[in-house]
Amino acid sequence: MTTSHEKPRPTIARIWRGRTSAAKADAYARYLYEHGVLPLARKALGVQMLREDRATESEFVTISYWESVEAMSRFAGDDPRRIHHLERDAEFLIELPSGVQVLDITASLSQVGGDRA
């Protein structure tokens, strides 16, 4: 349990993946950041947006960190694996993802500056 002066610690990671064509990747990166990552950052303990560019497509991975399944459910609803598609996802993505991964964080070590998850 966290006291009032301690920051909540993440115990859950929620991972979303989506793919777009290489031609749409830069535009989607801007859109995902502005309409997906920034609003999510106001609710989660932390968010990371990752991108892998390939020859013909780019994959985006968004990882959000939560203190509990209950906290994540306040964002995602009763089913935390339910996808919350952004308004323009169908325009950008090769296929709409059908779910997300919800994983327990069993260890977290970091030498990287900034907020730690």
Question: Within a domain: residue 3?
Answer: no
Between 47-51, 82-86, 100-104, the lowest mean confidence (pLDDT) is in 82-86
Question: Exposure pattern of 83-94 as b/e (b: 16+ CB <10 Å)?
Answer: eeebeebeebbe
Q: What is the CATH number for 69?
A: 3.30.70.100
Report pLDDT digits (tens) over 47-80: 999 999 999 999 999 999 999 988 888 777 788 7
Domain count, the chain: 1
Question: Within a domain: residue 108?
Answer: no
Residue 3 has pLDDT above 70, yes or no: no
Q: Take residue 17 and report the two structure tokens written for it.
A: 């993946």
Q: Take residue 59 and report the two structure tokens written for it.
A: 């994959």
Query: 23 φ, ψ to 5°?
Result: -65, -25
pTM across the whole model? 0.86
Per-residue pLDDT, 109? 86
Per-residue pLDDT, 116? 45
CA dihedral 101, 42, 117, 32 (to 10 degrees): 50
Asked whether the beta carbons of 110 and 102 are under 8 A apart, the reply is: no
Asked whether the beta carbons of 92 and 31 are under 8 A apart, the reply is: yes
Radius of gyration of the chain (CA): 15
39 or 76, higher pLDDT: 39
